Chains A and B, each alone.
Chain A
Amino acid sequence: MSSSKFRSSLLGGCLLLSSFGLLGGCATPPGEDPNAVVYTEVSDPIEPLNRYFFDVNNALDAIALKPVAHIYRDALPDGVQDSVRNFLDNLAQPFNFLNNVAQGDFDGAGDNMGAFFTNTLLGIGGLFDVAQIDTDDEDLGQTMAVWGVPEGPYLVLPILGPNTTREAAGLVGEYFLDPVNLIAANNDISNVALYRGGANAIDFRARSITDLDEIEKNSIDFYAAIRSLYRQNRKNLILDGDVETTPLPDISFDFDDDAPKSSDRVSLLFQEDESSVKKTTSSSN
């Protein structure tokens, strides 16, 4: 399992950093119509199965991951936790680099390379973030999105957690493509990807205990809340960087069924409401 696999697990794609890197040439995925880049309704055809695995994963989390994360968070000094995080981030840089190149983001790729060499050489193998370059985590799913591969239905994988079909395909590819895993395999060091995945999972879980608990406690449908957060975040990761074109959620008045069908245009959001509300009132009376 690659680290990204596990990152995408749990809360899904969670540790994947933003793709400010997309700023470069690909603020909008070329394959997608810019007007369609608004958030679309959720596609979840196998929801019952997804809910089942969501519950299974939560149960596994409660008995296995969360307790470990608790201990990790409370027992280890902050400095140690930071170094673990730095080390794992550093290991991810070569693959971030490849993804940025594939996405045409050469500035981002340069940052990845600079951070990797600086931190590896001066930061004692990546334990310390000497470079202080705010690089963005990339993954194959994001690269595929930039290439125009559609998101596909929502998918909750056993153990790995929330995904979409595209991201799940990306995970499989990453397992085989991540340079760190390849080098380890070439040198007969076994299970590196597994350990990385595990470490990333614990690190992520430790930092999100409070937040996830809070979301769970306050939501009336935890599954749907996570699904929405996951998909919005993925969209953000793929598109991020160009703040002005950041897609706002589509707030058309589609609760008025007879509202004008402007729902797929970002900036029309509420413009139609005056007329549609009137229409609604008259039609519903």
Chain B
Amino acid sequence: MKFHRFLLASCTALFLFTGTPVPSVSTATAAETEDAAAKEAVGLVEKMGKEAVALLSRQDLDDQAKRVGFKSLIDRDFDMKLIGRFVLGKYWRKATKEQQTEYLVLFNDYIVTTYQKRIGEYSGENLKIAKATRLNKKETLVKSEIIRPKGPAINLDWRVRISKSGEYRIIDIIVENVSMLLTHREEFSAVVSKNNGDVEGLLVKLRDHLAKINAN
């Protein structure tokens, strides 16, 4: 069932892939990676995958240590500032400098905690990178599949973009054609508009949410 697959994946996409038990990350065939950019992008996704697998399957680390490692992986391979700004949408410019700074910190924590939640809950999944397509001169879409022991594969696309400093960074994960970036964005703007367009309301909500999650 498509939607079920998508649901399953949508809340778990990131960790599924970063998730502990992804046993191997297979290589894309060279013929399918058209050019250097595509190669770079595929390399990034693969590296991220391998390192996350290595990190999360380590027995000698506790959850806290894994989280720190996970966070640094995300910081390194995802363009969190760009993602954060996109997710806040038009409200980014309405926020004060201080609000923007705090928001980015909170957003980062939110992403890390949200996507780390399910780490370790999955087993037997296997990430298979299919191919990379150039979207424009800055972006490449890396297509991959999560092969599951039971049930049909889940399509997982990674949007990779060259950052201003010339590095390749992941900016979106698209599960069964559903964009995580967009989902967070609509959620966040809903919170801000419920608070009459005041970003402070979102910050409060995020603080509460993180406090609640961390308390558990």
Contacts and interface: CB of A to CB of B under 8 A. Distances in A.
Interface stretch (B20-28, B40-48, B50-58, B134-142): B134-142
Contacts of A85: 1
Given A249-B179, A270-B139, A225 B187 contact: yes
Interface in A219-271: 219-221, 223-225, 227-229, 232-233, 235-237, 240, 243-244, 246-249, 251, 254-257, 267-271
B76 interface: no
A254 to B, nearest CB: 7
A201 interface: no
A14 interface: yes
Contacts of B179: 39, 232, 248-249
Contact of A218 (B6, B117, B138, B186): B117
A212 to B, nearest CB: 7
Interface in B119-176: 133, 135-139, 141, 143, 152, 159, 161, 164, 171-172, 174, 176
B10 A257 contact: no
Given A257-B90, A270-B138, A212 B7 contact: yes
Contacts of B189: 224
Contacts of B11: 211, 214-215, 218
Contact of A11 (B3, B110, B205, B213): B3
Nearest to B92: A255
A232 B182 CA distance: 9
Q: Give the residue among B8, B110, B161, B177 with the most A Cβ atoms within 10 A.
A: B177
B18 to A, nearest CB: 15
Size band of the interface chain B makes with A: 35 or more
Given A207-B4, A218-B117, A236-B177, A269 B183 contact: no
A228 B183 contact: yes
A129 interface: no
A225 B186 CA distance: 7
Size band of the interface chain A makes with B: 35 or more
Interface in A9-56: 11, 13-18, 39, 42
A208 B4 contact: yes
A165 interface: no
B190 A224 contact: yes
Given A232-B177, A270-B139, A207 B183 contact: no
Interface of A: 11, 13-18, 39, 42, 85, 134, 136-137, 204, 207-208, 211-212, 214-215, 217-221, 223-225, 227-229, 232-233, 235-237, 240, 243-244, 246-249, 251, 254-257, 267-271, 273-274, 277, 280, 284
Interface of B: 1-4, 6-8, 10-12, 85-86, 88-93, 110, 114, 117-118, 133, 135-139, 141, 143, 152, 159, 161, 164, 171-172, 174, 176-179, 181-183, 185-191, 194, 202, 205-206, 209, 213
25 contacts: A11-B3, A14-B4, A14-B7, A15-B1, A16-B2, A137-B2, A208-B7, A214-B117, A214-B118, A215-B11, A218-B11, A219-B187, A220-B188, A220-B206, A220-B209, A224-B191, A225-B183, A229-B7, A232-B177, A232-B182, A244-B133, A248-B174, A255-B86, A270-B138, A271-B137
Q: Identify the 4 closest CB pairs spanning chains A and B, nearest first.
A: A224-B190, A228-B186, A249-B182, A236-B177
